[in-house]
Each structure stands twice: as structure tokens, then as C-alpha cells.
Amino acid sequence: MKTEDLRIMTPDQLAESLLNLKKEQFNLRFQAATGQVEKTHRAGEIRKDIARIKTVLRSRQATA
């Protein structure tokens, strides 16, 4: 996800995306523990996307 795309989204959409990414991250952790991960790079991408969403949400809170 790009930051420009995230800035367009509403806070509800951002919260939903954050929840979905956290679920996916949880599932990837289980797959990694059992050795079934196919896309190992996806874990890093998810972590960075979560950070981007949290940054956008926090910047909106600071300006409000």
C-alpha cells in the first residue's frame, strides 16, 4: 500500500484495513511456526503496511 492511497481512506476504512492486516500477520506467524510459509517476504510487507496505517491515523489525531 502506498501512503497516498492511505491518506485518501476514511478512518473507518483504515481501521478495517489495520484489522485485516493484523489477522493476516497472525496467520503468517502460525504458518512460519509450522514451516508452511510460501511467501516469506509478505511478513515484512505486512509489518510495514501496519506501520504506515498507524502513522496516518496518528497524524490525523495530531492535527485534529
- Give pLDDT, residue 12: 96
Say how many C-beta atoms besides its own lie within 10 A of residue 43's C-beta: 16
Q: Return d(Cα 44, Cα 47) in angstroms, integer.
A: 5
Q: How confident is the model at residue 1 (pLDDT cuts 50, 70, 90)?
A: confident
pTM (2 d.p.): 0.90
- Give pLDDT, residue 36: 93
C-alpha gyration radius of the chain: 13
